[in-house]
Amino acid sequence: MISKKRTWLDIIIIAIALVISALLIGLKFLPSEGDLTLSVISEGGESEYSLSENREIELMSNGISLIIRIENSSAYILSSECPNGICMKQGRAKRAGDTVVCAPAGVALIIKSGGVSHGDAVAG
Q: Are 110 and 39 in contact (CB under 8 A)?
A: yes
Give the total of residues touching other proteins (CB under 8 A): 50
Options 28, 48, 50, 58; binder of other proteins; rule CB under 8 A: 28
Options 9, 30, 53, 63; binder of other proteins; rule CB under 8 A: 9
Q: Which of 98, 63, 104 is nearest to 85 (CA)?
A: 104
Options 49, 78, 88, 106; binder of other proteins; rule CB under 8 A: 106
| 12 versus 55: smaller Cβ distance to other proteins | 12
Q: How far is 117 from 31, CA to CA, in rounded Å?
A: 16
Using CB under 8 A as the binding rule, whether residue 30 contacts other proteins is answered as no
Q: How far is 77 from 106, CA to CA, in rounded Å?
A: 13
